[in-house]
Structure 1
Amino acid sequence: MFWVVFLLLAWSGALLACARLLRAAGEAAEAAASHRHHHDELSLYEAAYLAGGPERVADLTLLSMQRQRRLLLAHTGWVTVVDPVGRDPHERSVLGAFGPDGQEQVVCVRTAAERDPAVRALADRLGEAGLAPRAGTAQGMGEGIRSVRQACWLVVAMAGAALCVPAPAATTGMILCWFALPLILTLGCLAIARFEGTAHSPWASPAGQRLLVDLARERGVRGSLTAVALRGLRAVTDPELRAALAYGRRGRAARHRGY
Structure 2
Amino acid sequence: MYLAVILSSLVLVIGTVRSRRAPRIRLVDAPTHEVWEIAFLAGGPGRVTDAAIAGMQEDGRLAVGGPGAVTVRRAVAHHPVEQAVLDALGRTPGGALSRLRGMVMRSPAVQEIGDRLADRGLMRRPRRGRGWRRMAHVQVAASAVLLLGGLLMTITGTAGDDAFTVPFVLRIAPAAILGIVVGSLCKLAHRGRLTPAGTLALRAAHAANSPGVVGGAVRPAAIVVALGGAALVADAVLRQQLLDAQSAMTTAADVSAASGDTTTTSSGDSGWDFSDGGSDVSWCGSADGGSGCGSSGCGGSSGCGGGSSCSSGSSCSSGSSCGSSCGSSSSD
Could you say which TM-score interval applies, normalised by the shorter chain? 0.7 to 0.9
| Separation in structure 2 between the aligned mates of residue 179 and residue 46 of structure 1, nearest angstrom | 49
- Partners of 2:69 and 2:146 in 1: CA distance: 53
Question: 1:133 aligned to 2:127?
Answer: no
Q: Please report how far the alpha carbon of residue 47 of structure 1 lies from its aligned counterpart in structure 2 after TM superposition.
A: 1.1
TM-score by length of 1: 0.77
Structure of higher CA gyration radius: 1
1:244 Cα deviation after fit = 3.6
Report the alpha carbon displacement of residue 157 of structure 1 after superposing the two structures with TM. 5.4
What TM-score does the superposition give when structure 2 sets the normalisation length?
Answer: 0.62
Residue type of the partner of 1:164? T
Aligned letter for 1:180? A
Q: Counterpart of 1:59 in 2: which secondary structure?
A: helix
Displacement, 1:203?
3.4
Question: Does structure 1 conserve the Cα–Cα contact (< 8 Å) formed by 2:233 and 2:239?
Answer: yes
TM-aligned CA distance change 1:159 to 1:68, over 3 Å: same
| CA displacement 1:205-235 (0-9 Å, x = unmatched) | 2321222122112213375332210110122
CA contact (8 A) 1:81 1:103 kept: no
Question: Could you tell me how far apart the structure 1 residues matched to 2:245 and 2:92 are?
Answer: 21
| Partner in structure 2 of residue 185 of structure 1 | 178
What whole-Å deviation, never above 9, does each CA across 1:117-155 have from its counterpart, x for those lacking one?
222222122122221122122523421320221231343
- Structure with the greater relative contact order (CA < 8 A, sep ≥ 6): 1 or 2? 1
2:68 equivalent to 1:93: no
Aligned residue pair count: 238
Letter aligned with residue 180 of structure 2? L
> What CA deviation, in whole Å up to 9, does each residue of 1:74-95 have, x standing for no partner?
2442222233243332122111
Counterpart in 2 of 1:228? Answer: 225
Alpha-carbon deviation of 1:25?
1.4
Counterpart in 2 of 1:4? none
1:48 paired residue number = 39
Counterparts of 1:226 and 1:136, CA distance in 2: 29
- Alignment check: 8 A CA contact 1:49 1:203 kept: no
C-alpha root-mean-square deviation of aligned residues, in Å?
A: 3.0
Aligned to 1:256: none
Partners of 2:242 and 2:161 lie apart in 1 by: 65
Mapped pair 1:214 → 2:208? no
Structure 1 residue 246: Cα displacement: 3.1
Match of 1:170 among 152, 164, 175: 164
Letter in 1 for 2:185: I
Q: Which has the higher helix share?
A: 1
Aligned 8 A contact 2:13 2:186 in 1: no
Partner residue of 1:203?
A: 193
Cα deviation for residue 196 of structure 1 reads: 4.2
Measured against aligned partners, the alpha-carbon deviations of 1:60-117 in whole angstroms (never above 9, x if no partner) come to 1111222232222224422222332433321221111223899612222211101112
Residues 231 and 243 of structure 2 are in contact (CA less than 8 Å); yes or no, is this contact kept in structure 1?
A: no
Q: Does 1:124 align with 2:147?
A: no
Separation of aligned partners in 2, 1:107 and 1:76? 11
User: Quick one: which amino acid aligns to residue 75 of structure 2?
Assistant: P
Separation in structure 2 between the aligned mates of residue 232 and residue 195 of structure 1, nearest angstrom: 23
Number of the residue aligned with 2:267: none
- Structure 2 residue runs of 5 or longer lacking an equivalent are 212-217, 249-300, 302-332
Cα 1:93–1:35 change in 2 (3 A) is same
Q: Gaps (5+ residues) in structure 1? A: 1-7, 252-258
Q: Secondary structure at the match of 2:100?
A: helix
